[in-house]
Amino acid sequence: MKKILFAILVAPFFFQACSNDFDVAAPWQDIPIVYGLLNVSDTAHYIRVEKAFLDPNADAFDIAQIPDSLYYENALVQLAKLNTGEVFTLQKVDGTLEGYPRKAGTFANVPNWLYKIDSLTLDLKEGDEIQIQVDRGNGLPLVTANALILGKGIQRVPIASNPTFAFDYNLPTKLSWSSSDQARIFDVTLFIKYTEYPIGQPDLFEHKVIEWKWGQGIRFPTVATQYTIEKQGVEFYQVLANNIPVNPDMKRIFEGIDIQIIQGGEALEKFINVALANTGITGSQELPTYTNLSEGLGVFSSINYLVTENALLTAVSRDSLRNGIYTKDLNF
């Protein structure tokens, strides 16, 4: 699985090294912008390195459309494994050709330079401490940041080896997992999969997925060996009823449920807290700046996905899906 995130969704891991003491409005200041999110499960790792060069004599929107104003011409981007002393140099690639086109908008999207290293070369392991090192040239200070690599964790309830959900109308349904010691914040989503086709025409089948969010930005008061969240079992049937139209001419077959748990570290939690504190009626007029880079803005951190596929339903839950008050007209 190959993923890439370049947005303020992510946050610094080592917040102890945060720096907020530069003036982004200072004239002629070269400000490096670095985004990288390492996932031990990825097949390739990408880093975005750009610059914000403030010219008091030019319009910022005009500058944003000039590629030479966005990228360093000869930047050297490396990842160092601090636990082994190994240093790896990343290759400059066009993100569009890699399958990650940049949306048209304020910034020039051609070329779309990224820095890449494949997973076999970097060979990340849980607990590895990785430092990014960006040499912009021209005698500018080295840009660095550290990230501790998170592990996948383990699906506990329902058990990963035979995942089965019991959605009882009158009881809560629990979801439990174990995570890396450094994980502090979680997003949990269930993907309900089913197939539908016109009655008597199974060859015209179509696969469907309903995304059921169990929680975003979930936090727990203490670090534990196992985390548990729950929802009322009846909500499963209500979600289906609210997302699938009644059609007496359509046959539907339940296929399974994929469980996705995204985990992030302590600094990600702090970053989100800072961002949320500056929204709403009481929020300040200035957007918060929070970075773990030694120079500039952005984030270099780690994230991981715990995915359990094709969880089934108990016999009682299957019967409720077919005949229950919320879903009996959906033709499962």
Whole-Å CA distances, 68 to 49, 109, 143 = 13, 12, 20
Domain boundaries, the chain: 15-150+269-302, 154-263+307-330
Give φ, ψ of 197 to 5 degrees: -155, 155
Is residue 321 classed as helix, strand or coil in its secondary structure? Answer: helix
What token pair was written down for 111? 């070329």
What token pair was written down for 141? 């200070």
114: number of Cβ within 10 Å: 26
- Going residue by residue through the chain (332 aa), what tens digit of pLDDT does each one get? 333 333 333 332 222 233 333 344 445 567 898 888 899 989 999 999 988 755 555 544 555 455 556 788 889 999 999 999 999 999 999 988 888 877 655 455 558 889 999 999 999 999 999 999 999 988 899 999 998 899 889 999 999 999 999 999 999 999 999 998 888 889 999 999 999 999 999 999 999 999 999 999 899 988 887 999 999 999 999 999 999 999 999 999 999 999 999 998 776 776 666 666 554 444 344 445 678 899 988 878 888 999 999 999 999 999 999 999 999 999 99
The span from the CA of 166 to the CA of 162, in Å, is 13
* Contact yes or no for 55/119 (Cβ under 8 A): no
* Contact yes or no for 32/25 (Cβ under 8 A): no
**Burial zone of 115 (CB within 10 Å; 0-12 exposed, 13-18 middle, 19+ buried):** buried
Instruction: Please report which helix (H) or strand (E) contains residue 315, including its range.
Output: helix 315-323
The span from the CA of 97 to the CA of 74, in Å, is 20
The residue written with tokens 């990014």 in the block is 132
* Contact yes or no for 22/30 (Cβ under 8 A): no
The span from the CA of 154 to the CA of 321, in Å, is 28
The full length of the chain comes to 332
The span from the CA of 52 to the CA of 72, in Å, is 10
259: number of Cβ within 10 Å: 22
